Amino acid sequence: LYALAYDDDVVVAVGDGPEVEDPREAARGVLQAARDGVPSALWVAAGPGLDGLPVATVEQKLEVLVQAARQARLYLAKEQFEI
């Protein structure tokens, strides 16, 4: 079990609604949170309530979460090394 530190921040990339988020929109949210704070202290997470959704929907939402985090990370790395 991991506890967030006082200087950590969380961005919720996927919510508990039945619709599956667009990975690009989720990545934009992650990027915005990274730009507003410290990227190395940012945790990308799913919101509460996924346990009330069908398993197939939850799997799709978790795939979106992973894609969004990966896209945001690649974009931040690209920005860092193009300076």
pLDDT, one tens digit per residue, over 55-73 is: 999 999 999 999 999 999 9
Q: Please compute the mean of the pLDDT values over residues 34-61 and round it to a whole number.
A: 94
C-alpha dihedral sign at 37, 43, 45, 48: negative
Question: Please, is 70 exposed, middle or buried when counting C-beta atoms within 10 Å of its C-beta (0-12, 13-18, 19+)?
Answer: middle
* Strand stretches in 1-83, DSSP E: 9-14, 42-46
The answer, as to whether pTM is greater than 0.75, is yes
Instruction: Give yes or no for residue 83 having a pLDDT over 80.
Output: no
Is pLDDT above 80 for 82? Answer: no
